[in-house]
Amino acid sequence: MKPPYDQLIFPAAQNAQDRQPAGGWNPGALLNRLIPASLQLLVARAGIAAVFFLSGRTKVEGFMTIKPSTYELFRSEYMLPLLPPGLAAQLATCSEHLFPVLLVLGLFTRSAAAALLGMTVVIEIFVYPDAWPTHLTWAGLLLPLVAHGGGKWSLDQLWRRKAA
């Protein structure tokens, strides 16, 4: 069973009566009231979307013309196994533009977050293994989105409400 949206990140607020400290003050419950889970998920969506989208913009000229330097990076530095460098450059560039937009909109949130989490794992294992603190931060923003979706303030939620 998923936790309710208003108790997502700060679990101390769950069963607040059972977890009341001696003084009766529960910081987790207070934080959940001040920062609802829908806001937490929205911030996670926007934050990680910015990271990937801005990375995607460095790979293109104009709207979506992939730079020759991007192909060269995939050929000489990134060298992903199993994928030709040209195809890897195209897939990464398109992914870094499409999935962040979906996250900001809250549309297909779990799938978009899972795709970016997969990219993060590939980058960590094959490209920049020494950058694990950065990749762990990205995963920390993506995992709640994979687990809980976009929250109340997403097109996914709006779509679910209309379907019901």
Q: Give the DSSP letter string of 95-121.
A: HHHHHHHHHHHTSSHHHHHHHHHHHHH
Is 15 found in the same domain as 79? no
Determine how many CB atoms are found less than 10 A away from the CB of residue 10.
Answer: 20
Is 100 found in the same domain as 54? yes
Q: How confident is the model at residue 12 (pLDDT cuts 50, 70, 90)?
A: very low
Residue type, 74: F
DSSP output for 28-41: HHHHHHHS-HHHHH
- 108 conformational bin, left if phi > 0, alpha if psi -120 to 50, beta if neither: left
Judge whether residue 59 has pLDDT over 70.
yes
Average pLDDT of the segment spanning 78-106:
98
- Mean residue pLDDT of the chain comes to 90
Is 22 found in the same domain as 45? no
Judge whether residue 69 has pLDDT over 50.
yes
**For 123-151, how does the pLDDT look when each residue is reduced to its tens digit (9 = 90+)?**
999 999 999 999 999 999 999 999 999 99
Interatomic CA distance for residues 43 and 49, integer angstroms = 10
State the residue range of the domain holding 113: 36-163
Is 100 found in the same domain as 22? no
Interatomic CA distance for residues 122 and 130, integer angstroms = 13
Is 154 found in the same domain as 126? yes
Is 128 found in the same domain as 59? yes
> pLDDT at position 126, please?
97
Is 139 found in the same domain as 154? yes
> pLDDT at position 13, please?
44
